[in-house]
Chain A
Amino acid sequence: MIELTVNGIKRQVDVVPEMPLLWVLRDELGITSPKYGCGVAQCGACTVQIEGMAVRACQAHIGEIAGKSVVTLEGLEKRDQHPVLQAWIEHQVPQCGYCQTGQIMQAISLLDLISQPTDEDINEVMSGNLCRCGTYPRIRAAIHAAAAKKMAEK
């Protein structure tokens, strides 16, 4: 049994230690906002936070994160009022929406690092998150809007 904390709740899973966190979340724990897109850290659709850091869940072996705290989009604090999620809704970013939970988790991490990112900052930090539908113009706009909102709230 491997024990970890997911979205504030202690969970135990009976799997091999090499199993990626992504599949533990999806298939063993039924948490589906982290998506399988590539399995090799090329798309970012599985992005979650481990100990507060944005990580590709397909690359994190469950054995190595025993005892650690994992937060997925479902477990974000005050999710309904979260400025990044609000901006994503206001700008109607998604098309198919499959990559968007990963995009959002990465954008939250970006804004934690850089409170007022430029387009260049966004390009740099968000380039690991692939969107096949082509929502990039709206992702940029939503990140700027969320940054402005966070600034205004301070």
Chain B
Amino acid sequence: MGELQRLSRRAFVFGSAAVAGGVVFGSYGDAAQAATDSDNPLSAGLGPNSASFNPWVEISPDKITLIAQHADIGQGVGSIQPIMIAEEMDLDPGQFEVRFAGPSPAYFNTGFADEFAPFVAADQSPAAEEARAKTLEWLRQSGLQMTGGSSTLPDTYEKLRVAGAVARETLKAAAAKRSGVAVADLRTQSGHVILPNGTKIAYVDLSADAARIPPVLDAKPRDPSKWRLLGKPMMRLDIRAKVMGELKFGIDLKTDGMLYASVKLNPGKGQPLKSYDASKARAMPGVRKILEIKNGVAVIATNSWYAMKAVDAIACEWAASAYPAEQADHWSVLESSFKPEFLGKEWRKIGDIEAGLKTGRLVEAEYRAPYVAHQPLEPLNGIGLVTDKGMDIWVSHQSPRFVQYVAATAIGLKPEQVTFHNQWAGGSFGHRLEYENVRVLAEIANQMKGTPIKLVFSREEDFLQDIPRQIAIARHRGSVDKSTIVAADLQLASTTPLKGLLERSGTPSKDPDGQLAAGLWNVYYDIPNFRATSYEAQGLSPSTTWRSVGASTSGFFTESFIDELIHAAGLDPMQARIAMCTVPHYRKVLETVAEMSDWKGPLGNGRGRGVAFVESFGTPTAEVVEVTKTERGIRIDKVWIAVDVGKVVDPVNFENQVQGGVIWGLGHAINCELTYAKGAVQQTNYNHHEAMRIYQCPVIEVRGLENDPKVRGVGEPPVPPAAPALANAIFAATGLRIREMPFNKFIDFV
């Protein structure tokens, strides 16, 4: 872990400003180097007469295997990543197999370079680009392998196409050597090199030759105008298997001789077990063993249900949580965190904020966002087998090398003794960046040495152990002079999601949590006096990254407050945003959503529209929500959303992801909170934490723009504008300004 710790120390010299997203676009040469300069993790497993030119392509005499570098948590990595390689290799879907990457520094995430550099995304100045380039170098050295931060496309868009081009040109070089034909006279099509006389040589037939020549490193990816697959509607590779019920998720795996485990852990997250009584459980059907683990108990049984029923019957006495037992006290701590001793960082200061606030009319508002749960539909699970040599773990996870570290640390192994096999995930939303199942599975499998153990969390246990999204309060002040916004002073007290995750990953950071700046400092309106400040609340529940992370709360606070200022100035919410927006291609995003929704001011008759604009992870996103006030409550009728991602590489999946992000943002804003009582969350199944069901789902019209100079991700950016656009729409329809999530505490929804 030395290397990863170095990342923590060095990357966070910048104050862990995990704010903006995207990739540092080096030259093709840089990207090709990124594709080849690390030790290639595929080399060790190569069979005879097989070739691998870089960490993403493997060709053996019988098949071609392409590596999906990131975890597939539903966002389509297992399809788009191999297809980017296949595009350049002239492979067709069906001509290759896909495998998830194992742990290796070769798979470091270049897409985090923008996030970790202390510049807002729209800042493309030489100083900003230089800082991003430095951060990229640190990422390379540390080997940070992680899926998250909407970085899968920014990370891989260039390097996987380069990897494919290198493979293609190397295969051509091998064919040239064998046939005596000049490389320039060869072409490739459908998995074959084609000679001028029409003779076709299959790539797999060239594997032995290709293995004996050096890879052609100066290969260049094609211009997008030449694309066969990318940029056009295509069938995701995993769709058919998922529809036919044939795709095996982690929870579906089975091995010979396997036993099943379920657990009950201290709901006061992270605290130990004091005592337990398992006498009832011991006598229940199917029970093989009761185990005590670090912070709870486990039952080993002959199937999952027997294990869950038995563990439920164990009476446990728990040590008290380290955070306040009752929810009201969590809010109190936040309320008293707006003090110098809790200062995270003053992220941005423009003009003279104190003088600005004294000009014109002062507007003040307080906003709140509760803890919420991730709760992907596939609960935490995994299979573990510990032998004298080490541990094998089959689990879906976004941070392969940290899985090795966490599992190894739990049972006294070295990280390299843990063999990690990544699995298809039934969703994540940030849940599979955490380690509860990994740590517990290592402990159980270690006590059951030699027997494969399948661990499945019950839904209730999953809720109880789910490390929630940050809780936050914002106290915003601003001033309006006639029809001009003069000042905005944005202040936030919050728990620290990224810091918490880094600490649990074994790479603690003392620097301010950069995610508390997301959605707070990257405001692109022409407001002459501006300040953005974060305070870090101490002693509350651990919190972690939840789809869109800091911006999921700050986007709501900031864009609701901007709306209040705009109304105070007597302006139209859409026209004012467009007029104030300082970045031309961001303004275009707002203009696009105005055009899509045919925005013409207030609707009247109990109908209302709200707009919000947030850039998160480098992706500028604008949404308009339209609602109607009915006798049964607010009905969400329609959403229009415009997103600029630089390049839409998979248009169908793009639309699906964007719609999903809107639904995620709206559903949780309306319906969801986690509250603590006696140190445990009170919501333990979906009926307590429902988010959106189909009956509440509006029509969602999506448009992708390609004006940003970088390729941007889209998994998270549609989330942050959804809640403020809805709150602003409810204000327009009813006059009620909702400043706290979930909204259903203040108004009914149909």
User: Which chain A residues have a beta carbon within 8 Å of chain B's beta carbons?
Assistant: 15-16, 19-20, 23, 26-28, 30, 32-33, 35-40, 42-43, 45, 72-74, 79-80, 85, 88-89, 92-101, 104, 122-124, 126-127, 129-140
The verdict on A89 contacting B239 (CB below 8 Å), with A38-B459, A95-B76 known, is: yes
Any A CB within 8 A of the CB of B707: no
Which listed residue (B304, B377, B652) contacts A37, Cβ 8 A? B377
7 A-B pairs with least C-beta separation: A96-B74, A98-B426, A33-B245, A134-B663, A97-B242, A134-B660, A23-B305
Any A CB within 8 A of the CB of B687: yes
B82 to chain A, nearest CB (A): 17
Give the contact stretch, choosing among B161-169, B246-254, B514-522. Answer: B246-254
B74 x A133 contact (CB < 8 A): yes
Q: Which residues, 219 to 245 on B, are CB-close (under 8 Å) to A? A: 235-236, 238-240, 242-245
Instruction: Map CB proximity to A onto B664-694 as digits: 1 under 8 Å, 0 otherwise.
Output: 1001000000000000000001110011111
Q: Would you mind naming 18 contact pairs between A and B with Cβ atoms under 8 Å apart? A: A15-B286, A26-B252, A27-B304, A27-B305, A32-B248, A36-B459, A38-B459, A72-B245, A73-B244, A74-B245, A92-B239, A92-B652, A95-B657, A95-B660, A98-B376, A134-B663, A136-B694, A137-B697
The verdict on A96 contacting B656 (CB below 8 Å), with A27-B303, A37-B459, A136-B663 known, is: no
Once bound together, how far apart are the Cα atoms of A130 and B686, in whole Å?
9
Tell me the nearest residue of chain B to A89, going by C-beta.
Answer: B243
A79 x B244 contact (CB < 8 A): yes
Identify 4 new A-B residue pairs, CB closer than 8 A, beyond the known A35-B378, A36-B379. A30-B254, A92-B656, A93-B243, A96-B377
A96 x B303 contact (CB < 8 A): no
B374 to chain A, nearest CB (A): 9
Any A CB within 8 A of the CB of B260: yes
Tell me the nearest residue of chain B to A122, going by C-beta.
Answer: B694
A35 to chain B, nearest CB (A): 7
Which listed residue (B73, B459, B700) contacts A96, Cβ 8 A? B73
* Residues of A contacting B73 in the complex (Cβ-Cβ under 8 angstroms): 96
* Residues of A contacting B700 in the complex (Cβ-Cβ under 8 angstroms): 137
* Residues of B contacting A130 in the complex (Cβ-Cβ under 8 angstroms): 377, 686, 690-691, 693
B437 to chain A, nearest CB (A): 14
B694 x A132 contact (CB < 8 A): no
The verdict on A96 contacting B244 (CB below 8 Å), with A23-B304, A124-B695, A127-B693 known, is: no
* Residues of A contacting B244 in the complex (Cβ-Cβ under 8 angstroms): 73, 79-80, 85
B543 to chain A, nearest CB (A): 19
A97 x B260 contact (CB < 8 A): no
* Residues of B contacting A45 in the complex (Cβ-Cβ under 8 angstroms): 377
A56 to chain B, nearest CB (A): 13
B685 x A137 contact (CB < 8 A): no
Once bound together, how far apart are the Cα atoms of A12 and B693, in whole Å?
37
* Residues of B contacting A140 in the complex (Cβ-Cβ under 8 angstroms): 694, 697
A138 x B377 contact (CB < 8 A): no
Which listed residue (A36, A88, A131) contacts B243, Cβ 8 A? A88
Number of chain B interface residues as a range = 35 or more
B377 x A94 contact (CB < 8 A): no
The verdict on A95 contacting B74 (CB below 8 Å), with A123-B695, A134-B659, A139-B694 known, is: yes
* Residues of A contacting B75 in the complex (Cβ-Cβ under 8 angstroms): 95
Once bound together, how far apart are the Cα atoms of A133 and B718, in whole Å?
13
Once bound together, how far apart are the Cα atoms of A20 and B304, in whole Å?
11
Tell me the nearest residue of chain A to B664, going by C-beta.
Answer: A134
Once bound together, how far apart are the Cα atoms of A28 and B258, in whole Å?
12
Tell me the nearest residue of chain A to B665, going by C-beta.
Answer: A134
* Residues of B contacting A38 in the complex (Cβ-Cβ under 8 angstroms): 459, 685-686
B305 x A127 contact (CB < 8 A): no
Instruction: Map CB proximity to A onto B65-90 as digits: 1 under 8 Å, 0 otherwise.
Output: 00000000111100000000000000
B425 to chain A, nearest CB (A): 6
* Residues of A contacting B427 in the complex (Cβ-Cβ under 8 angstroms): 95-96, 98, 132-133
Any A CB within 8 A of the CB of B152: no
A20 x B305 contact (CB < 8 A): yes
Any A CB within 8 A of the CB of B699: yes
Once bound together, how far apart are the Cα atoms of A122 and B694, in whole Å?
8
Once bound together, how far apart are the Cα atoms of A133 and B266, in whole Å?
29
Any A CB within 8 A of the CB of B661: yes
B242 to chain A, nearest CB (A): 3
Once bound together, how far apart are the Cα atoms of A100 and B242, in whole Å?
7
Once bound together, how far apart are the Cα atoms of A42 and B693, in whole Å?
11
B509 to chain A, nearest CB (A): 30
- Of A27, A97, A122, A138, the most chain B CB neighbours within 10 A belong to A97
A96 x B305 contact (CB < 8 A): no
Any A CB within 8 A of the CB of B393: no
A43 x B694 contact (CB < 8 A): no
Once bound together, how far apart are the Cα atoms of A45 and B249, in whole Å?
14
The verdict on A138 contacting B656 (CB below 8 Å), with A39-B458, A88-B243, A96-B425 known, is: yes
Tell me the nearest residue of chain B to A75, going by C-beta.
Answer: B245
A134 x B692 contact (CB < 8 A): yes
Once bound together, how far apart are the Cα atoms of A127 and B458, in whole Å?
22
